[in-house]
Structure formats: C-alpha cells, structure tokens
Structure 1
Amino acid sequence: MGCYLAKFTFTGLDVIDLPPDTSSVYIIVLTWNNWEDTVVCLQSLQRLTYPIYQVVVVDNGSTDGTVTHIEHAYPEVHLIQNGRNLGFAAAANVGMRYAMMQRASYVLLLNNDAIAPPTLLDELIGYVTTLPDVGMATPPLSYRDASQTLWFAGSKRHWLTMESVDFGPIGPKRHSQADVCHPVDYIFGTAMLIPTSVLQRVGLFDEKLYLYYEDMDLSLRIQAAGYKLYYIPMTSVQHGVSGSTRSLSSMRHYHKARSSVIFFRKHTGWGRRLVIVPYRLASALRTVTRLGWASEWAAARAYLSGLKDGLRIEI
C-alpha cells in the first residue's frame, strides 16, 4: 500500500470515533533497525490464512536500511516512517490511529522479532468473538530458539506490589494454565489483540511511558473500564528473546527505571505506596549494586537518572 510519512504529532490518549469494519484486522509491527528480524516476521505474516488483514509497519527512524528492505520486498505492507525514534508507546499509537482511521475492527500489535503461526488470526478472532467483554487478548508466547519453550500464558498482578507475575519458562506445574482460556491481569505488547471499539473508549498508550510499562498501564485502564483480558490457548507466537537474560543497554536501564516510577505513581494511592516505595527502593538498590559489581557504571547512572526523572514527570 505504499509509504506514508508521519509528519504530524499524536497525543497518546486521544481517540478517533469511527465505526469499524467488522471483518478487518490491522497488524501493527514496530521497527527500529534490526531489519533481519523484521523480514522474518513479515515473511510469517505473508503466510496467514485469515481472509482480511493488513500489515502496517511503523518505522522509528531506522538507520540500517530497514525501510529500503521493506519497500523492495514487501510492497503490500503499509509503511509509516516516523523519521525519528518516538519510543514504543508513541510509535504504536501512530499505527493504531492509522488502523482506526481505516475502520479496522481489531488491531494486533506484534513485535518485529516475533514469528506468527499461519492460523494466528483465525484462532484469535475465533476465540474472542465468543467471549464476553473482551478488552484485549493474547496468544501463548514461546522462545524463538531450538527449545521453543513456552514462556508466557498471560500474567497475573501481585495483589500488593502490582508487579507482573506468572511469566517465564512454563514447566509441568504450569502447563494446565497454558491449556485453557482464562482471564489475566496483564498482557504484554509482544502480541496483543485489541478491539478498536475498546481503544475508542479507553484511549491508546500513554506516551509518557516511552519504553516499558506502557502495556501494563493499558491493561489496567482497560480493566478499569469494565473489560476483561484473556489468554487464548492456541498455537504459540515465537518471540525472539533468549531463554537467558539479555543485558540491557544504558538507554534501556534508564527507561525501565523512569517508566516504573511513572507507572506506580499513576496506579497507586498513598496507602499502597507505604508498601510499594520501600519495595521499589530495595529493588533499585539491588539493581544498582548488581550493575556496580559488573562494573556497568554507565548503566547504573542511567538507572538512577531514570528514577529521578520519573519523579519529575507530571501525571
């Protein structure tokens, strides 16, 4: 569908009130460099068996030839170029706004390092059309390696700290959780299906959450509006993370810290903060100590700067 250059500014919580076309799904794939993974992802989307869908790639100012690769190899993909890195939340909003303007029924946000099974949309849409009050849905996620270990079957929220729990490699004790459809508290931005009618009511990602926690924030807002989040037992989406922990860059440490502060400020009252603040301070101390022992001083300084800046943001 050609190339579209986004020269306008979107605010994260504005909505567009358009009646949806009840049969269409728009798949939003965000890119920032790493064209090799993006190509593999798009190849998997070409094999989808669902009859009506459109792939939208939102490029966040890639400098490695990503745009050229997509334009030459995937002319059927609608390409939006932001021109610079707007962050995950703002870039996703660009894609979701475009889908809503095209009267899509659903948007599927998909990481560019994910591989979709051919029946992804058939299975997801087949389930969500039979469930009550659907605000968001997710397929299972597995590692994109030889093990293909399942690592996500929806996530619950810790009753006190509000942290996401119940994710990570799923062993025999948790396989029963992965085999049935069930409500969950958090869905990650790796693969999330959202009816556009829900976005019209609740809004899009909060762009103050530049990177990290934007999906948890939207999960909470959707539930607060009376909708449910569902895990769908189906063929898994393979996600290109390693089973072992990857080290984070200084930039990612900064945004992880900054977004965590904004998130907990938004969603906790003073009573809960009496518990969460000591918990978060202890967590921050562990992180900085670990980085210090590893002589990652730049990352430690970035993490502390993120905590400080998160306190300064008006919410």
Structure 2
Amino acid sequence: MAEPIDTTPLISLITINYNQAVVTCDLLESTRTLTYPRFEIIVVDNGSREDPTERIQQGNYPNVKVLVSPENLGFSGGNNLGIRQAKGDYIFLLNNDTIVTPDLLEQLLKPFFQNPLVGVSCPKIRYYDQPTIIQYAGYHPLNEYTGQTWAVGLMEPDLGQYEQPGPTYFAHGAAMMVSRAVLEKAGSLDDSFFLYYEELDWSMRIRRAGFQIYYQPKALIYHRESMSVGKENAMKVYYHTRNRLWFMRRNVVGFPLLIFYLYYFGMAIPKALGYYTLRRKPSYLKAVKDAIVWNLKHSVKQSVVTSPPVAMVANTALEV
C-alpha cells in the first residue's frame, strides 16, 4: 500500500554565514522552537576563513544542510546558491543575525493562501537588542526623485500601531518568504548588487511581474542589525553608493531619473565627500569614486526598466 502524500508545503529556510558561525548557530538554535511541521534549512557559507560545517553539525540542528562556497558571493549570490539547492514550495530568506519566534512560518504562509496575488510575505521585525522597537512594518513608496525610501515604523516603540496586514512596497532582505511562482516568473536576486539594494530591486521586479509584497504583522523576528559588515566601513560606503545609483538606473526612467541625477550628483555626493574629507577618511572617498566609476562602466539592459511597476492595491491596508 502506497504511503499517503504529505500535502503540507515544504519551506526552504536559507541563511548566509560569513565568518559568524556562533551567530549563525544562535539562529539555528532558535529554529528548534519553530512549530511548523515541514521545513529544511540551508546554510550557505560565503567563503569564510573557517568552514563552519563541523560546528553546525555538532549542534545537531534538525534538517540542516551546509553549502560551502569557496568565495564570497555576496548577499544576492549566496542566497541564489541556496535557492538553486532548495526543494521547498516556498523559499524563506533569513539573515543569520536574526532570532525566530515559534509560529513564524505558519503566519508567513497565511497570506499566500488568502490571496493568489501574494508573491512575498514579510514579518514584522524588531531589534534584538531593543526588543520593543520596530525596524520594519512594511515600506513607504520610493521617492523617484531622490532614490529614498524607508521602513514603516522604523525606530518606533511597538504599541500595536502596525497590526494591520496588507500589501506594501518593498520586502525586507532580513526576512522574506517567496513563492515558487515568483521565482518562475520574476527570477531570483540579481547578482550584480552583491550587497545592499538587492531586495529593493527584486521587489520592483516582483511587483512588475504582477505579484503583491505582503506585510504580515502576526509573524515576528528579532534582528541584530549590521553584524555582517559592521556599522560603517569603506566597503559599506562603496556598495551603498554604487547600488543606490545602480538601483535607480535599473528601475526609474525619464524625467524622474534626470531629477535624481541632479539631486544625487549635485547634493548627495558632494555632501558625502565633504563629510568624509572633514573626518579624514581617504578610504571612504576612494569608495565613493570607485562606486561612480563602476556605474560608468556598466550599462543597464533596457528590458529591466521598460515595464512600468505594477500599481499597489488601491487603498493599502497599512496604516502609515
């Protein structure tokens, strides 16, 4: 007699490790509390100085597979490596510097079954060191003239003001569950970003493909922000500068892009250069220069930006 087929969706949880085996094991330890019955965990090591496989195996964490890359593929490349190995019906990208809560996976799945247009589900994110303070409760729309957006509720005490679920403009790279349908229609993260802005670019492509990005406040994680690259360094300056410009070039066209160029090169870049000069940070000045030169050497394929973004649902359920 054939065994019954388990129709419970399989979730593939993917996390990136880069010289942070202890932090990654803290996350894996927290996954022991997950109550969802069917998930696998893929840890992608991004060219760390020491292979974390043995340490992770010693923890005897359930359903964990370690993929070791000989080189650092960045956030986008590392997650894409994990996605290629994932067997799940849903892919959950989760930063290694997070701590999960027991019903996280069940809550993130609900929007997919309630609305077939949902392609991405994101939890509420609070800071690990300030567990009552919000980091993410959805995203505000992009200002196409300045290239700026910011998370709803950022740095606010969580007093229940963002408990209404609904569509939002961007997913948060620290924690986003994606359906297989999104991967098939919109593709995965773009490797060209390496670090920063990749989830914003992906969000734009996902919405252009006709999907909604959904904020689910009943799902909750805690995030130790900026543990991988630190609070400020030349690499962070380089990728923030490079990828903000790259993101805008890929996703904004016409008059708004022209205004952005005037703003960015007339105000934002001179301000940054003056600040780093006063602080005597020559490596930061070089990072800004290198970021601009990189963009001058790389062209954007027209197919990336010719399709207009899909409009948000008429009256978003988020209270902002």
Hey, what's the Cα distance between the residues in 1 that align with 2:177 and 2:219?
15
Number of the residue aligned with 2:24: 38
Pairwise CA distance, 1:148:
3.4
Given residue 272 of structure 2, which amino acid in structure 1 is its aligned partner?
T
Q: 2:295 aligned with 1:295, yes or no?
A: no
Query: Is the 1:261–1:311 contact (alpha carbons within 8 Å) kept by the matching residues of 2?
Result: no
Percent sequence identity over aligned pairs: 27
Change (3 A) 1:237 1:166: same
Q: 2:47 aligned with 1:61, yes or no?
A: yes
Pairwise CA distance, 1:241:
1.8
Hey, what's the Cα distance between the residues in 1 that align with 2:182 and 2:32?
27
CA RMSD across the alignment? 1.9
Query: Is the 1:28–1:109 contact (alpha carbons within 8 Å) kept by the matching residues of 2?
Result: yes
* Contiguous gaps of at least 5 residues in structure 1: 1-20
Given residue 284 of structure 1, which amino acid in structure 2 is its aligned partner?
I
Pairwise CA distance, 1:123:
1.1
Tell me the number of residue pairs that the alignment of Structure 1 and Structure 2 aligns.
Answer: 287
Pairwise CA distance, 1:159:
4.0
Q: Which residue of the other structure, out of 67, 72, 97, is the alignment partner of 1:80? A: 67
Given residue 84 of structure 1, which amino acid in structure 2 is its aligned partner?
E
* Contiguous gaps of at least 5 residues in structure 2: 1-6, 301-320
Pairwise CA distance, 1:250:
1.1
Pairwise CA distance, 1:171:
4.6
SS in 2 for 1:208: helix
Q: Which residue of the other structure, out of 14, 27, 36, is the alignment partner of 1:50? A: 36
TM-score by length of 2: 0.84
Number of the residue aligned with 1:284: 269
Query: Is the 2:207–2:213 contact (alpha carbons within 8 Å) kept by the matching residues of 1?
Result: yes
Hey, what's the Cα distance between the residues in 2 that align with 1:238 and 1:214?
21
297-306 vs 135-144, which deviates more?
297-306
Hey, what's the Cα distance between the residues in 2 that align with 1:74 and 1:95?
20
Hey, what's the Cα distance between the residues in 2 that align with 1:184 and 1:258?
25
Query: Is the 2:144–2:257 contact (alpha carbons within 8 Å) kept by the matching residues of 1?
Result: no
Given residue 160 of structure 1, which amino acid in structure 2 is its aligned partner?
E
Q: Which residue of the other structure, out of 135, 150, 156, is the alignment partner of 2:119? A: 135
131-140 vs 110-119, which deviates more?
131-140
Q: 2:89 aligned with 1:89, yes or no?
A: no
Change (3 A) 1:22 1:36: same
